[in-house]
Structure formats: C-alpha cells, structure tokens
Amino acid sequence: MADQADPSPIITIERHILDEQTFHPEATGTLTNILYDLALAGKVIASKTARAGLAEILGLTGDINIQGEKVMKLDRFADLTITRLTDHTGRLAGLASEENAAFMPIPDKYPMGKYLLVFDPLDGSSNVDFNMPVGTIFGIYRRVKESGPVDESEFFQPGRNLVAAGYIAYGTSTMFVYTAGHGVHGFTLDPSVGEFLLSHPNIAIPKAKYFSVNLGYQLYWSLGVQRYTEYLQGHESDIKGLSLRYIGTLVSDFHRNLLAGGVFYYPADSKDPKARTGKLRLLYEAAPLAFIAEQAGGYASDGRGPILDITPDSLHQRTPLFIGNRDLVMKVEDFIRGLDD
C-alpha cells in the first residue's frame, strides 16, 4: 500500500538542470549555474511585476516613490536584475540586452567566463499598465574566442549555435521554460515555497488550434502573407479554420501555442520603416524561441527559411517571424515563394 505520508516526487528546477548535465559528461556545471541564476532572476522579476500597479500608487508623482526613490520602469528593473545576478559569477564573458544599444563585457573586476547571454528582459512591457502577461526571453551561446576581451562580432552567431534558450512567463502563474538541446521543459513557480517545480516535462507542440497575429496590420502585408492568413482561416484550404488568439506579448502568445498548438507570426509590413524587415529582434526574441520551437517538434521561419540559420550582422537586427507547428510554418514559405518572390 502506498505510504500516504510519502509525497509524490517533486522535481525542482535545480535538480532537473543538474540531471540534464549528465547528458554532457564533459560539463563543468557552468551552464547549469547560469540557468539557475536566470531562474532566480525570474523569481525577483515576478515579485516586482506582481506589484506593478502599486508602484504608481506608492509613488506620489508617479516618478518618486514614498521612500523618495525614483520609480524604475519595469523593463529597466528586469534588465538590471538579470545583469546584476549574472555579471560577477565568472560564468559569462558578455551580455547583450534588448534594452541597451551596446553589449556589456564583463567588468574587469570580475572573472571572465566562456558563455554569452542574450536577453529581452521584459517582453511585452507595454502591456504592464493593463495587467496583462509579460515575459523574459534568453539565449546562451558559447563565446567564439578562447580568451581576451569580447568582441561584438562574437554575438553574431546563428541560432543553431545556441547552447540553451528559454523564457520566463509572468502570467496567472510564473513559468520557466527552457531547453538545453534535450527537449523542452516547463516549471511553475510555487509561491508558497518560492521554487520552480517541474510541471510540464518534454513539451511537444500538439495539433494546431490557434493562429496569433495582429490582424490590424493586414492591409500592409504582402500578398503571400494575406493569402496565408486566409488559408489559416479555412478559406479554400485543407484545414478547418483556426481560432484567433493574440495577446501582444510574444512570450505569452508563443507559450499558449506551444502548449495548445498553433502558429504565431509577425510579418514584415509596409506601415513602418522599421517594420519592413519585421518588428521582432533576431538575437533576443526570434532565435531563442526558434530553438525552443524546434526542440518541441515545431519550426520557425522568417518566411523564406529557418530563423536558426540566420547569422545576425548587428545586435538589434529585426526579422519577420513565423513560429509554431512545423506544417503551418512551412506553408507560409510556400505562399511567400509563390506570390511574393
């Protein structure tokens, strides 16, 4: 008879990441510790996002809080939290954040490591004021040079070189989802014990249910993307029309589609000069999520080929993004090839 006092197995994120390390007998534990540092950063950011509305109440003018300190914007807070929890550990050689124009080499006073961290500290931050979900996205690369100061060019690696990637979703609960190349695993923060616990092992994208796109921009899309959208809606297609869901926070839209099946896209459009090549950033958003998508059996494309094969030539390079179920993402490549090229 089962012992009623014996709890069911609880797998903490620390234990899971350590177990994954056994796939790499040569591992020193450095990557394991970077992931654990990021999980800690996620807890700190989650506790702050949960108080987002209160910052305004506590700040008399909106800029100065009751202690006389400046109320920091949440995306700046998230950026500093991640930087301060990772810059001194001797595990990283440099960090590049969507928040900052230049990358940050590890300060001289700290030891230098062999990994590079790229991250979007608070994706969807414009949603914060409306109590909607936001997220953090990260990717970890090995540095290119053996030693010496980090060059910006070391960050210009295709997503195929990613060693690990993940995101933290700050929603109704806080989730940490990551891959180190052996499947995608999700952990939910249990606030009562302050720990991420394995809740979604070996995530695989199921049959598509949703499509997610800002339909408000449809007029500005290429013919291929417009026809693709009609295809997803079930016009003259071999699929039943999908249901539309769009939050406007990439992490949340991606996370839902990863668990429920579906495709998210943010195509190039002609309304905004910056968006002609798409709005989303290759290094901080598209490539890490593309790695996760492929590990979950999905696929990510810029409409013409795999996101993971694109080598960036600048830190903040933008890209169109189509990501989700493999068959649906490959379908947009057919439409674009046939109608736009």
Q: What is the DSSP letter of 151?
A: P
Please give the full DSSP string across 97-125, using - where no structure is assigned: ETT-SS-EEPPTTS---SEEEEEEEEETG
Q: Which of 17, 34, 35, 250 is the binder for ligand AHG (CB under 6 A)? A: 250
* Shortest Å distance, C-beta 189 to ligand AHG: 21
Residue 249 binds to ligand AHG (criterion: CB under 6 A): yes
Which of residues 214 and 314 has its CB atom nearest to ligand AHG in the complex? 214
**Minimum CB separation from ligand AHG for residue 215, in Å?**
9
Among 28, 126, 218, 270, binds ligand AHG (CB under 6 A): 126
* Torsion, CA 108, CA 109, CA 112, CA 118, rounded to 10: -80
Question: Whole-number minimum distance, CB 216 to ligand AHG, in Å?
Answer: 7
Q: Which is nearer to ligand AHG, 123 or 154 (CB)?
A: 123
Q: Cβ 252 to ligand AHG, closest distance in Å?
A: 8
> Given the complex with ligand AHG, which of 106 and 137 has the nearer CB atom?
137
Site for ligand AHG in 196-235 (CB under 6 A): 214
Of the candidate residues 65, 97, 125, 295, the single one contacting ligand AHG (CB under 6 A): 125
- Min dist. Cβ of residue 264 to ligand AHG (A): 8
Min dist CB 107 to ligand AHG, Å, is 27
Among 124, 159, 288, 298, interactor with ligand AHG by CB under 6 A: 124
Least Å from the CB of residue 266 to ligand AHG:
6
Phi, psi for 243 (deg, rounded to 5) = -85, 145
Angstrom distance (rounded) from CA 230 to CA 5 = 55
**Burial of 146 by CB count in 10 Å (0-12 exposed, 13-18 middle, 19+ buried)?**
exposed
SS3 76: helix
Q: Which stretch binds ligand AHG (CB under 6 A): 28-36, 121-129, 146-154, 229-237?
A: 121-129
Residue among 44, 75, 166, 77 at smallest CA distance from 117: 166
Residue located via tokens 């979950």: 296
State how far the alpha carbon of 278 is from the alpha carbons of 123, 267, 274, in Å. Answer: 16, 6, 7
d(CA 56, CA 61): 8
- Contact with ligand AHG (CB under 6 A): which of 99, 123, 269, 294? 123
Q: Exposure of 291 by Cβ count < 10 A (0-12 exposed, 13-18 middle, 19+ buried)?
A: buried
- Closer Cβ to ligand AHG, 25 or 130, answer by number: 130
Name the site residues for ligand AHG (rule: CB under 6 A): 123-126, 214, 248-250, 266, 279
